[in-house]
Amino acid sequence: NAGVTQTPKFQVLKTGQSMTLQCAQDMNHNSMYWYRQDPGMGLRLIYYSASEGTTDKGEVPNGYNVSRLNKREFSLRLESAAPSQTSVYFCASSVIQQGGEQYFGPGTRLTVT
Amino acid sequence: AQKITQTQPGMFVQEKEAVTLDCTYDTSDPSYGLFWYKQPSSGEMIFLIYQGSYDQQNATEGRYSLNFQKARKSANLVISASQLGDSAMYFCAMSLPYMNNNAGNMLTFGGGTRLMVKP
């Protein structure tokens, strides 16, 4: 039981390059989330998928797109990376019922130069 | 819009003593959940404790307890008998009630408190 896995762990991009962050969970959770954490700050929600087949914007969606590929997988794409997107990205999953603990992946540290 | 405020950027506590980390929140929804997460220097997010807005009793999980004062909109984390391994960032977070907008359990986080335990 791996929980929530993310790939890659580290990535360096040049401004304008694109990449996709992958996330998968094996807990049969309906809901999945992408957050970013800037230095010295709390996490901010980028996009979420309350259930398979749906995605919605969070607090900071600009510059990102997501795909809920199936119940297990939720990817985050940066189409044209900018230095302002340098951050640590966390994927999480939970049951859909209120109060469901969110299980977080280990994070991806992204640097855009 | 909902908001979470953690007013203590950093705190020191002596090993084996208790410490309280403050969290206040603001929401107009009557139904919500409050969470505390720990983030050690290794970076992972570790769930500590959860309190539902309708729960009558304060939540407890081992050495962690949540002092929930609904009228004051505060949800302080109390760590008893601090250990060196408790040194970490601590985040308070609030979830929206999913029934209102099918939001699942997406979380709004506070800015965090860095706790340092002194031997």
Q: Which of A98, A103, A104, A108 to mutate: most B Cβ within 10 Å?
A: A98
Rounded to whole angstroms, the Cα distance separating A82 from B7 reads: 31
Measured between beta carbons, the chain B residues lying within 8 angstroms of A51 are 102, 104
Rounded to whole angstroms, the Cα distance separating B29 from B24 reads: 15
Q: Which of A25, A38, A102 to mutate: most B Cβ within 10 Å?
A: A102
Rounded to whole angstroms, the Cα distance separating B64 from B84 reads: 15
Measured between beta carbons, the chain B residues lying within 8 angstroms of A95 are 105
Cross-chain residue pair A43–B91, CB shorter than 8 Å: yes
Residue-wise pLDDT tens digits, B12-26 = 999 999 999 999 999
Cβ–Cβ < 8 Å for A35, A45: yes
Measured between beta carbons, the chain A residues lying within 8 angstroms of B103 are 48, 50, 56
Residue-wise pLDDT tens digits, B41-97 = 999 999 999 998 888 899 999 999 999 999 999 999 999 999 999 999 999 999 876
Measured between beta carbons, the chain A residues lying within 8 angstroms of B48 are none
Residue-wise pLDDT tens digits, A37-64 = 998 889 999 999 988 888 999 899 999 9
A41, A98, A107 member nearest B97 (Cβ):
A98
Q: Which residue of A has its CA nearest to B1?
A: A59
Q: What is the pLDDT of residue A102?
A: 86
Rounded to whole angstroms, the Cα distance separating B92 from A20 reads: 29
Mean pLDDT of chain B: 91
Which band of pLDDT confidence, cut at 50, 70 and 90, is reported for residue B32?
confident
